[in-house]
């Protein structure tokens, strides 16, 4: 168990362009709008035009800062998780730091769709040194998508950010990796992603419930005491199967893929943002955050929401 954190502010940013399933069907050979909605739970996604991971990340961080009421000088560290950066160098974090006119340390991590969970785990260990940490999750997968491939229907673009500070509540977190699965989702430099959808489904439906149950058992929690599962958004069938394996109501799972698709490393904080801002998730609610990602990577965390 690590000491926990309070969320001082949260923000989100989305591209303005909306791409529907019907539009996907019209541009991608063999694609079906009805299949996308039935199997994946996606109706539309946001697609970047002039947006970048930097511009989206800057906007979500700006909202989080305004939401927190902090001055710029109060931010002590920036961590960005992304797997779709426009540049190999410099880091997205440094470019956002410049846009925000901050002066604190800044760096990137890449655990693909599990990136936010990795950032939370790391932040929980160093919050005594860096009082207020800004975590920004930003992705533009439309820029690494082959629109002639039927897998183009999965992903959307977006960003979310949180500012956290130390509290003394319980925070449990496990992160991990299974590097032997790297070939099932990968993207070469200056290329588009290659995905084995069947393997992603099998890994997700096996690892998500297994890792959630492991965290619960290790820390003497009860699944019945969890108010919300806030997961990565691979497909609604993966999440429905996860709920079934956990023996919980699917109504306890936060879904946002209908509007946004799978936003990779931004999907968990975007789902958290939706839950908080719509009033579904309330202060004091017990949350499980969970994700799998390319690599393979996986992560699960538990905390009670302490927001502002």
Cα distance between residue 71 and residue 55, in whole Å: 20
* CB atoms inside a 10 Å sphere around CB 148: 12
DSSP secondary structure, 280-305, as one string:
SS-TT-EEEEEEEETTTEEEEEEEE-
Spatial contact of 192 and 36, defined as CB atoms under 8 Å apart: no
Q: In this structure, what are the phi and psi dihedrals at residue 31, rounded to the nearest 5 degrees?
A: -85, 150
Catalytic residue (one of 132, 232, 236, 256): 232
User: In angstroms, what CA-CA distances link 62 with 39, 100, 160, 212, 253?
Assistant: 35, 8, 10, 32, 28
**Nearest CA among 286, 254, 282 for reference residue 270:** 254
The token pair at 200 is 């992603």
The token pair at 163 is 């500012």
132 is catalytic: no
* CB atoms inside a 10 Å sphere around CB 250: 15
113 is catalytic: yes
Catalytic residue (one of 81, 113, 151, 256): 113
* CB atoms inside a 10 Å sphere around CB 284: 11
Residue 260 Cα to chain centre, angstroms: 12
Cα distance between residue 20 and residue 44, in whole Å: 4
**Nearest CA among 196, 150, 145, 146 for reference residue 30:** 150
Cα distance between residue 254 and residue 260, in whole Å: 13
As a residue count, the chain comes to 308
Cα distance between residue 140 and residue 158, in whole Å: 7
User: Looking at the DSSP assignment, which residues form a beta bridge with residue 160?
Assistant: 12, 137
Residues identified as active-site: 113, 232, 262
């Amino acid at each position: 168990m690590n000491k926990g954190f309070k969320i001082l502010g949260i923000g989100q940013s989305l591209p303005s362009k909306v791409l529907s399933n019907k539009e996907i069907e019209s541009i991608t050979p063999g694609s079906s709008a009805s299949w996308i909605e039935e199997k994946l739970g996606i109706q539309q996604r946001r697609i970047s035009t002039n947006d970048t991971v930097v511009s989206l990340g800057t906007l979500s961080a700006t909202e989080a800062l305004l939401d927190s009421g902090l001055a710029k000088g109060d931010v002590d560290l920036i961590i960005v998780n992304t797997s779709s950066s426009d540049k190999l160098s410099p880091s997205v974090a440094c470019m956002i730091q410049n846009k925000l006119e901050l002066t604190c340390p800044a760096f990137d991590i890449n655990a693909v769709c599990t990136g936010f969970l990795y950032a939370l785990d790391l932040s929980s260990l160093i919050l005594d040194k860096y009082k207020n940490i800004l975590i920004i999750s930003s992705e533009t997968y439309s820029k690494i998508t082959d629109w002639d491939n039927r897998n183009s229907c999965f992903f959307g673009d977006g960003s979310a950010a949180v500012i956290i500070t130390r509290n003394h509540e319980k925070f449990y977190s496990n992160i991990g990796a299974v590097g032997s699965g790297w070939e099932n989702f990968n993207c070469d430099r200056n290329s588009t992603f290659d995905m084995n959808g069947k393997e992603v489904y099998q890994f997700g439906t096996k690892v998500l419930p297994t890792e959630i149950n492991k965290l619960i058992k290790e820390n003497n929690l009860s699944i019945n005491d969890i108010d919300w599962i806030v997961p990565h958004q691979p497909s609604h069938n993966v999440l429905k199967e996860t709920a079934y394996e956990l023996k919980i109501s699917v109504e306890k799972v936060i879904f946002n893929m209908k509007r946004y698709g799978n936003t990779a490393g931004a999907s968990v904080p975007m789902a958290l943002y939706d839950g908080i801002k719509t009033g579904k998730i309330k202060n004091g609610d017990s949350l499980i955050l969970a994700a799998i990602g390319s690599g393979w990577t996986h992560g699960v965390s538990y905390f009670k929401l302490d927001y502002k």
